């Protein structure tokens, strides 16, 4: 185990587990995203970020905190009751894809813990590395970025962040409503109350409505990428949450694809930038001369 200077009394350890992403769960997400065609079946490659349907969090009901998250302090460092947010992450895909119905093994380690002071007070940033393998072959590596802030009421910034410089080539609008948020929470076994308990989200944490999951925004951006470039293969996918999105506005998904192998993506809620992402694509195979 490795001690971290950000939390001197806590030591990181590696957690390993095995799971199989079943076709039924993939079919549910297929329907949630309103994808065309038949849902994927056993043996099909796993769409980008759909591995989040496996390795669901496990905790007894009496081990959940007031916000619905499992209490940290074991695998994740202790955070003294701070509110947890999913800040972003990065995915690198292996040479062979993960496939539905195949058993996967995951190795997880906290790789960094950093404490800083932000606009809302002390912040603790936690990075977790996940490695997924199939029969010993790495199919995916992931860096998950978490941030913990003091439990105080949310204050929406007065001005929207600046839009990134990009020429959007594809746009899509996704209606956001409580059923969408609830069903995604159920699919990923996410008990964080800000996504389905309006009284808690507005009365306790001070949000103006139900909060759209950061992972849901990332999944929607990955889905928009697939719709825009269905024939291309993704090599890496990096995303970062910029501001919360709420169920009071639809989510606008934007894709900027040109002749290069790099694609810029962004999500907006009421013209406020909420998430950015960058995908790198595997180079196109050179055509054989006739």
Domains 1-152 and 154-290 share a fold: yes
Q: Which residues contact 109 (CB under 8 A, 6 or more apart)?
A: 12, 13, 14, 15, 128, 129
Q: Among all chains, which residue has been given the structure tokens 């889905």?
A: 223
Each residue's pLDDT tens digit in the chain (290 positions)?
455 555 556 577 888 999 999 999 999 999 999 999 999 999 999 999 999 999 998 888 988 888 887 776 566 766 666 677 889 999 999 999 999 999 999 999 988 888 887 666 678 888 999 999 999 999 999 999 988 877 667 777 665 555 665 678 899 999 999 999 999 999 999 999 999 999 999 998 889 999 999 999 999 999 999 999 999 999 999 999 999 999 989 999 999 988 789 999 999 998 899 999 999 999 876 433 43
- The pLDDT assigned to 229 comes to 93
Cα R_g (the chain), whole angstroms:
19
In CATH terms, is domain 154-290 a member of 3.40.640.10? no
For residue 120, the tally of other CB atoms under 10 A from its CB is: 13
The CATH classification number of 1-152 equals 3.10.129.10
For residue 220, the tally of other CB atoms under 10 A from its CB is: 25
Q: How far apart are CA 230 and CA 263, in angstroms?
A: 13
Between strands 170-174 and 262-269, the pairing is unpaired
- The pLDDT assigned to 289 comes to 40
- The pLDDT assigned to 287 comes to 36
Hey, where are the domains in the chain?
1-152, 154-290
Q: What are phi and psi of 178, to 5 degrees?
A: -60, -30
Among positive and negative, which fits the CA dihedral 265, 212, 89, 25? negative
* Pair 238, 274: CB distance under 8 Å: no
Q: Which residues contact 288 (CB under 8 A, 6 or more apart)?
A: none
- The pLDDT assigned to 84 comes to 77
Q: What is the strand order of the sheet 234-241 is part of? A: 14-20, 103-118, 121-134, 137-149, 83-93, 234-241, 272-281, 262-269, 251-257, 170-174
Using alpha carbons, select from 226, 235, 233 the residue that is nearest to residue 34: 226
* Pair 141, 172: CB distance under 8 Å: no
State both tokens at 9. Answer: 């009394």
């Amino acid at each position: 185990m490795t001690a971290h200077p950000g939390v001197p009394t806590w030591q990181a350890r590696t957690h390993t587990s095995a799971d199989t992403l079943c076709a039924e769960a993939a079919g549910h997400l297929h329907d949630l995203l309103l994808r065309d065609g038949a849902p994927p079946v056993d043996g099909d490659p796993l769409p980008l970020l759909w591995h989040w349907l496996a390795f669901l969090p496990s905790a007894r009901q009496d081990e959940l905190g007031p916000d619905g998250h499992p209490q940290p302090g074991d695998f994740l460092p202790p955070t003294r009751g701070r509110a947890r947010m999913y800040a972003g992450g990065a995915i690198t895909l292996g040479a062979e894809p993960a496939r539905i119905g195949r058993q996967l093994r995951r190795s997880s380690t906290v790789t960094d813990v950093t404490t800083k002071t932000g606009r809302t007070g002390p912040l603790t940033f936690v990075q977790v590395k996940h490695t997924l393998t199939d029969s010993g072959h790495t199919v995916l590596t992931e860096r998950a970025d978490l941030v913990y802030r003091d439990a105080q009421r949310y204050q929406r910034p007065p001005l929207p962040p600046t839009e990134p410089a990009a020429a959007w080539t594809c746009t899509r609008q996704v209606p956001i409503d409580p059923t969408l948020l609830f069903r995604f929470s159920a699919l990923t076994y996410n008990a964080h109350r800000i996504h389905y308990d309006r009284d808690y989200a507005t009365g306790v944490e001070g949000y103006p409505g139900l909060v759209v999951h950061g992972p849901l925004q990332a999944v929607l951006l990955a889905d928009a990428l697939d719709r825009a470039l269905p024939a291309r293969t993704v090599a890496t996918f990096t995303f970062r949450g910029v501001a919360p999105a709420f169920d009071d506005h639809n989510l606008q998904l934007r894709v900027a694809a040109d002749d290069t192998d790099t694609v810029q993506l962004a999500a907006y809620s009421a013209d406020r930038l909420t998430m950015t992402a960058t995908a790198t694509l595997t180079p196109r195979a050179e055509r054989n001369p006739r």
